[in-house]
Amino acid sequence: MKNILARGGIEFIAVVMGITISLWIEDGKNKNFQLKEQISLLENLKTSLNQDLEYALKIEKSLDTCLVSQKYLINLDCSNLDTLKNSVFVKHIEYSTKGGWSFFPRYGVYRALSQNNDLGLIDSDVLKSRLITLYDFIYKRYENIDIVMENHYQYTYPKYLIDNFYGGIKNNNVRIDEEIPINYRINKKKICDGSLKKEILHINGITGSAFNSVAKISKEVEEISKLINSELNRLED
């Protein structure tokens, strides 16, 4: 009888141990799967943000060049126009039009995370908070600026320049999908009566705002990328 009980006890312990080990193995598999999911998620975010950063830096550089030329044109002195070379004037006019870049953030990865409730896979509350602020507020705020910029740089400002400083077509041999290159010429009357200055002042303010906003985007994306790298290093250790 004792042998039967002892044997039964051993079998029971063996069953319990077997179940425990199975659960432990299954738990390990689940944790390993979750770890891979976390790493994959962060890697995808990092790639998406790096693409946004690359594009934002290009826009930032273009806007900076644009602002420099706009400042030059705003400060043109009517008394010195006789010594102003047309090539220099044209260069600054052309650069002053380069503010119409639109910024199109890549929302795909973030939207998928939000819709699938996968943001919870990110352990860092700081990182989650910064991502929400970037995608739901900072990017959205720039969209509003973008609309105003597009109107000025695609329609209002080019029309003014063609109406007042048009100097012919540079090259007629362009594809149908290419922008026709335009020559500009110095118009002393429009410079001296302040018309050019007023027109540029209309766009200079919003261009400065756009530059500050896109610079903020670049800085925020760089800082978030550092947080993502820290999380990846922690998970991969």
Three-state secondary structure call for residue 181:
coil
**In 3D, which of 135, 130, 145, 134 has the Cα closest to residue 108?**
135
**Tens of pLDDT along 6-18?**
555 555 554 545 4
**Tens of pLDDT along 100-149?**
888 899 998 888 888 877 777 888 899 999 999 999 999 999 988 888 89
Q: What is the pTM (predicted TM-score) of this model? A: 0.78
What is the average pLDDT score of the chain? 83
Angle value at C-alpha 70, between 69 and 71, nearest 5 degrees? 90
Rg of the chain, C-alpha, whole Å: 30
